[in-house]
A and B are shown apart, each in its own frame.
Chain A
Amino acid sequence: MQSKKKILCVDDETINLLILRKILGKKYEVITAKHGEEALLVLGKDPEIELVITDMNMPGMNGLEFVREAKKQFSNKKYFMLSGYAITEEIQEALDTGLVYEYFQKPADYKKIDQALEEPGFGD
């Protein structure tokens, strides 16, 4: 059996991470981080991570700042956002430029997330 793809989930709320771990854990190996700085360290340590899903509002750098920085260092990964906010101008721009692959709003529709993560991309 092929080993599971690795996905990094970044959120400052523990329960959100537990949920993601539980629901995405069926298909993916879920790795978690509580803020952007930690996530960058994790990405540096584990090059096998293919997918990243991050919250927007977090202590330290926000979700977009994190993705911008991560993309610079680790451009071969797909970045997703999962946030309680409606799409802002800034986020729309990130979607248009391809910085963020897709945007999900909380409360999350996990079917939709599952489908989006499954889509074939440059990582495959």
Chain B
Amino acid sequence: MSKGAHQLYEVAPEKALGNIQLIWDIVHQEDVKKIKPSIEQSAKELTPWKFEHRLQFPDGRIKWVDVRGVPVKNTDGSVVWNSIGLDITKQKEAEKELERINKNLEKLVEERAQKAVKLSRELELYWLAAEHAKSGVWHYDVQSNKLEWDDIMYELYGIDKADFSGAYEAWETSLHPEDKERNVRALQETIAGQKDLDILFRINHRKSGEIRHIRGKGKAETDDKGNTVAVFGTNWDVTREMNLAVERERAIDQLKEAQAQLIQSEKMASLGILTAGVAHELNNPLNYIVGGYTAIHNHLNEEELLDKAEIEEYLDWIKTGSDRATKIVKSLNLFSRSNEDNTEVCDIHLIIDDCLLILQNKFKDRIIITKEYTDTPAEVPGNNGKLHQAILNLLANAVDAISEKGEITIETKSQKDRLNIIISDNGCGISGENLKKVMDPFFTTKPPGEGTGLGLSITHSIIQEHEGSLTLQSTPDAGTKVKISLPKERKHAE
């Protein structure tokens, strides 16, 4: 045992020589089992022995040793080894560190790989989505005036890659002439750094020859000085959406037309109900005319001398009769007239009086009408025919609410920019439950055939069309108060 061996095993050589067990005691328990068979093999075959193992010291320290020995067979058959042991603890630790680093590296590489796989999957999904949405990607280099497109862009524009010049003008010339100026300006604004690109334009899809609607979004790419060097973004086809919008508009137009027809037919229906009364109203003035005629006729047949004063009186009857008949027919004309002019001067007082004339036979002799009109002009801009229809409906409702005798008060009040009309009756009133529904189309409490159920709903829409408001207050068995407020000037009139 050398001095080195003493340093290695930390056992005095003389002691170790006397008791080899002292060395075995510090060999790491886990390594003893492995060393023994290799020593036995070396002894048997007399081959050099080599082993790396650990030493475990009582204070817990561990040393790695590299022990090599060459066996020599003594004459007595025993085998000894000329051995050399090296402390390789440092080397082992370095190996371990290396192994740890390697493992970390492996882990890192593994993680990176997984991330890359994930990213590529996401990218694939993105492309799938882009392809599915047919979102094309473009890049426009401002300085070189070069335009780069991905495959979807070519599909969107119906152009073959080979036919694409790659110049900015290739895009500009594909735009619908009506959309060119606006969209080119938007691009210039993006280049100028004013705002992101968000454009909508039509193109002539080269392959199909169809008009397609394209939506485009993009951003400016700037250099370190903040100058725009490129603009990049996406394009996608919104033809379907645009067509749907057009269809929707068409459907709305049709609906509006149907509504207008409904208003007209409701008007005709309520006029129909009123015709009998109007006919009666016409019969009285006609009676004056026939009476005047008959009186003159008789006078001419029976008297030899014309009594001028008498004839004048008969002519007066005729004049009164024809004036009254004319007035009735004129106001009927206002009802049945159908035009869409919303800027007519509508005198609310005249309208109310016309309606009262038409309704006269329904309330005459049983309902007292009190008019409290404002002294100032009661003129609002609007459509005379429609306002006649609206006021007639409201007055007819007030009349219908009174089953026998009653009163209706019609007030007009002029405010700074509005004209208010308040119609109050002391009729049957409307229950709270029905009050919520009276403006609904087809709601009626009248027996079938007597009301269309459209009166108030159409009246409401006419008032709304005039930018006015319609409110109802009612107490069952006490009466109803209707307030209409109309603007004296229109904001949205054509």
Contact = CB atoms under 8 A, between A and B. Distances in A.
B287 A107 contact: yes
B327 interface: no
Place the interface of chain A in its size category. Answer: 20 to 34
B295 A19 contact: yes
B222 interface: no
Interface in B305-334: 313-314, 317, 320-321
Given A23-B291, A62-B365, A108-B290, A16 B284 contact: yes
B67 to A, nearest CB: 137
Interface in A69-124: 83-86, 105-108, 110
A106 B295 contact: no
A22 interface: yes
A97 B290 CA distance: 31
A55 to B, nearest CB: 9
B292 A59 contact: no
A109 to B, nearest CB: 8
A52 to B, nearest CB: 18
Given A15-B317, A57-B364, A57-B365, A106 B292 contact: no
Contacts of A108: 287, 290-291
Contacts, number: 69
A26 B301 CA distance: 13
A58 interface: yes
Interface string B343-364: 0000000000000000001001
Given A23-B298, A85-B280, A106-B286, A16 B365 contact: no
B283 A19 contact: no
Contact of A16 (B282, B291, B295, B313): B291
Contacts of A19: 287-288, 291-292, 294-295, 317
Interface string A5-20: 0000000010110111
Interface string B271-300: 000001001111110111111101100100
Nearest to B280: A84
A20 B314 CA distance: 12
Contacts of B287: 16, 19, 84, 106-108
A106 B302 CA distance: 25
A17 to B, nearest CB: 10
B134 to A, nearest CB: 72
B234 to A, nearest CB: 76
B457 to A, nearest CB: 32
Most A CB within 10 A of own CB, among B290, B302, B320 = B290
Interface residues of B, number: 26
Contacts of A107: 283, 286-287, 289-291
B178 to A, nearest CB: 63
Contact of A86 (B276, B284, B314): B276
A110 B365 contact: no
B286 A57 contact: no
B349 to A, nearest CB: 24
A89 B248 CA distance: 53
B284 A84 contact: yes
A51 B288 CA distance: 22
Contacts of A23: 291, 294-295, 298
A22 B280 contact: no
A83 B361 CA distance: 12
B365 A15 contact: no
Interface in A15-68: 15-16, 18-20, 22-23, 26, 57-60, 62
Contact of A22 (B279, B284, B295): B295
A16 B291 CA distance: 8
B280 A60 contact: no
Contacts of B295: 19, 22-23
B283 A60 contact: no
A57 B298 contact: no
B326 to A, nearest CB: 15
Contact of B320 (A15, A57, A62): A15
Contacts of B320: 15
A78 to B, nearest CB: 21
A22 to B, nearest CB: 5
Interface of A: 13, 15-16, 18-20, 22-23, 26, 57-60, 62, 83-86, 105-108, 110
28 contacts: A15-B288, A15-B291, A16-B284, A19-B287, A19-B288, A19-B292, A19-B294, A20-B291, A22-B314, A23-B298, A57-B280, A57-B361, A57-B364, A59-B364, A59-B365, A62-B365, A83-B280, A84-B279, A84-B281, A84-B282, A85-B276, A86-B276, A86-B279, A106-B283, A107-B289, A107-B291, A108-B287, A108-B291
Closest 10 CB pairs of A and B: A19-B291, A84-B283, A107-B286, A107-B290, A84-B280, A106-B287, A106-B283, A107-B287, A59-B365, A22-B295
Interface of B: 276, 279-284, 286-292, 294-295, 298, 302, 313-314, 317, 320-321, 361, 364-365
Given A15-B321, A23-B294, A107-B291, 12 more contacts: A16-B284, A16-B287, A19-B288, A22-B291, A26-B298, A57-B361, A84-B284, A86-B276, A107-B283, A107-B286, A107-B289, A110-B290
